[in-house]
Amino acid sequence: MLRRTAVVAVHVVAILVMLTVVAALPHDGESLTSPIAGGVALPPGLELVVPFESGERVELLSGYSPSGGSSLHADTNASSKANDYYALDMVLPDHANNGLGQPVLAVAAGTVAKAGWATAGWANYGQRIIIRHDVNGTPYHSLYAHLDRLDVSEGDTVARGQPIATLGDSCEGDIQNRSCPFFSPHLHFALHRNSSIGGSGTGGSYGGNAVVPEPMGGYEDLMRTGIIVSGTQGGPAQPCGVIEGAETIIDNTSRCFSRRGPSQYWHEEAVGYGDDSTWTYTIADPAPDNSVAWNLHFAQGGRYELWTYIPANRGQSQQAKYKIRHSGALDVAERSQRSSPDSWLSLGQYDFAEGGDQWVLLEDNTGEPYTNTNGTTIVFDALRIRPANAPTCECSNDAPQTDTCGMCGARTRTCDGCHWSAWSVCAAEGVCTEGTLEEGACGQGGTRDRRCEASCQWGPWGSCTGESPTNNGATNNGTTNNGTTNNGGPVTATCDALALPVVTNGAACDGVAENTWRCACSATALAPVSQVCRSGQWLDYQLDPRDCARCADAYSDACEPPADPPDDDPSDGDADPVGDVDAGNGGAPGGTVKSTCSVGAPAASGGGAWMGLVVGLVVVGLVGVLVRR
């Protein structure tokens, strides 16, 4: 099963994005790029402009020769084909879709020789324009291919810098495909001397010689990717990025990371360095379908070590061949991507020159055959470049790290580019260690326990076990309640009459709001008691049955006793108005049991009132009737 889409018998343009070079200004007595055998230099009198509107930043995707990024950039003096060795592929990075639809200008004045769809053997040019320029009796032809809209016709005379078309993505002229599946939008430009116009189909420019198109707008040495600006008079081209001598990472989101090949074969995945990587399937064909170049431009020459990051799930190729161009040499480092899952794979140390025209190239034709979508994958992720003599770093541009500490707490540290900082102070800790068991008292001599949960917070208390039998109706001779002797009365009858739970001072009040009140029966005094939840514990607030009598008719676990009315006769031995025992809180005579508890502090207890109320409550318990208002 073949992965490729069938293509007409033409070369597919393979774009290699952004291979870096500095283009310097030409100076008197200084030669431009020297043509190789069969190629020629630009003649005096033919001055070229950058073929885009003034002020446009122009990116040179592919430069001269087949190794410059495109398989169509080949031949210098073949007699029966286009001599496109010195062709350039250009895009406009400041516009969407590489500048699709932006104006394309004539580089020099001339006459339109061809305008329209290229067909047959020329079909891969898509829509193209060929302009003839006569210089001292010698014909030169400039070629503009993959256009979108044409603004001139055959026979038109054009001026230098005149708009002639718009940048496009056309190819396969026989079917007039305006959205080519083999590459992204760009302008393919070439210049020929003494070429013929014709050949198969609608014809093209063939034979003659390939011409070095320099200077173009004042720029020279346009061998590999850089950025030039239209409408200026040269200057150094801007590289995609400069390696300053410190450790540098070129990720697959960097301008110096360039992909080529059919877009339908590329896959993106949120794994790898920076949670982003690119991958495709391997093939065993002589020529690659897809490839990536990491473009290198050094501020200072020297020996550097290279690594590439390998996400485990897509780094399956065992024959990945990394081609490394450095200081004019080309080496190949064959590696198994499976050897470094989710880590950096070393490609070795190499000597690099100052400047550009240096790169690392990885192609998909590893020799591992493509069978189907279960075939071998090859991944393209970040490249790390570090001076060979640099100190070993424990981190680079890694994201901050987080670690657990203490009781479910967290701490962090950051990387300064080479070393980790100290861990921060442990923060957001819990209150206990997971799995710890705590035991507490409950009821009448009972115990219960709770366990620390995974959140490092205490879980709920278990059931109370091991309690002593309840003292139902037994005489509690001589028991003192805040200094008041019960004189052998059946105190538990009061608790029973009020249906109060038996509680222990200091018992936990988990899940209860702070300062919540309740009425209960004291496990120690076996008498009614009002309790308040303070700091996670039920605390006996006042061992005075009057406080609980206030709530006797509407007992709940959240009851706060009211304040007594002012005592208008302190001499009568109680703390209440004249003529009654406890007119404010349900005591006899004259009082009524309140149906709710008001907010306020409990009143101080008096001995006589306490005994009267106990007797009254015992009677109430015997008849089983509570007077309600």
Q: Does residue 497 belong to any structural domain of this protein?
A: yes
> Same structural domain for residues 181 and 256?
no
Amino acid found at 251: D
> Same structural domain for residues 67 and 208?
yes
> Same structural domain for residues 93 and 196?
yes
Q: Does residue 46 belong to any structural domain of this protein?
A: no
- What's the CATH code of the domain at 346? 2.60.120.260
Burial 412-451 (b: 16+ CB within 10 A, else e): eeebeeeeeeeeeeeeeebebeeeeeeebbbbbebebebe
Residues in a beta bridge with 252: none
Q: Alpha carbon of 138 to those of 133, 195, 351: distances in Å?
A: 8, 10, 45
Pick the last residue of a domain from 199, 229, 259. Answer: 229
Q: Does residue 409 belong to any structural domain of this protein?
A: no
Amino acid found at 412: T
C-beta separation of 308 from 296 below 8 A? no
> Same structural domain for residues 437 and 481?
no
> Same structural domain for residues 457 and 479?
no
For residues 227 and 295, what is the distance between their CA atoms, to the nearest angstrom? 13
Q: Does residue 21 belong to any structural domain of this protein?
A: no
For 507, other C-beta atoms within 10 Å of its C-beta total 22
> Same structural domain for residues 454 and 474?
no
For residues 561 and 602, what is the distance between their CA atoms, to the nearest angstrom? 6
For residues 96 and 90, what is the distance between their CA atoms, to the nearest angstrom? 14
What pLDDT sits at residue 174? 95
For residues 542 and 482, what is the distance between their CA atoms, to the nearest angstrom? 8
Residue 406 has which token pair? Answer: 């203490």
Pick the last residue of a domain from 229, 258, 276. Answer: 229
Pick the last residue of a domain from 387, 411, 445. Answer: 387
Of 296, 257, 294, 247, the C-alpha closest to 397 is: 247
For residues 281 and 363, what is the distance between their CA atoms, to the nearest angstrom? 10
Domain count, the chain: 4
For residues 154 and 586, what is the distance between their CA atoms, to the nearest angstrom? 114
Characterise 355 by phi-psi region: left (phi > 0), alpha (psi -120 to 50), beta (else): left
- CA torsion through residues 67, 344, 250, 246, sign: negative
Q: Does residue 122 belong to any structural domain of this protein?
A: yes
Of 312, 370, 308, the C-alpha closest to 341 is: 312
The DSSP-derived string for 14-66 is: --------PPPPP-TT---SPP-TT-BPPPTT--B--SS-TT-EEEEEE-SSG
Tens digits of residue pLDDT in 536-580? 888 876 544 444 554 444 344 334 444 444 444 444 444 444 333
Sequence-ordered list of residues with C-beta below 8 angstroms from that of 455, at least 6 positions apart, any chain = 408, 430
What pLDDT sits at residue 229? 87
The low-confidence residues of the chain, meaning pLDDT below 50, are 1-31, 471-493, 543-547, 550-629
The number of CA neighbours under 13 Å toward the Cβ of 536 is 4
C-beta separation of 77 from 202 below 8 A? no
For residues 395 and 417, what is the distance between their CA atoms, to the nearest angstrom? 6
What pLDDT sits at residue 36? 93
**Residue 492 structural domain:** 470-623
- What's the CATH code of the domain at 119? 2.70.70.10
> Same structural domain for residues 350 and 434?
no
Q: Give the CA radius of gyration of the chain.
A: 46
> Same structural domain for residues 566 and 450?
no
What pLDDT sits at residue 101? 95
**Helix, strand or coil, per DSSP, at residue 293:** strand
> Same structural domain for residues 113 and 220?
yes
Q: Does residue 592 belong to any structural domain of this protein?
A: yes
| Strand residue runs (E) in 221-336 | 227-229, 248-250, 257-260, 267-269, 277-281, 291-298, 302-310, 320-326, 329-335
Burial 509-537 (b: 16+ CB within 10 A, else e): beeeeeebbbbbbbbebbbbbbbbbeeeb
The DSSP-derived string for 79-106 is: SSS---TT-EEEE-TTSGGGGTT-EEE-
For residues 154 and 401, what is the distance between their CA atoms, to the nearest angstrom? 65
Q: Does residue 629 belong to any structural domain of this protein?
A: no
> Same structural domain for residues 206 and 92?
yes
> Same structural domain for residues 455 and 479?
no
> Same structural domain for residues 102 and 223?
yes
Tens digits of residue pLDDT in 505-548? 888 888 888 888 777 777 666 667 777 888 888 887 654 444 45
Q: Does residue 392 belong to any structural domain of this protein?
A: no
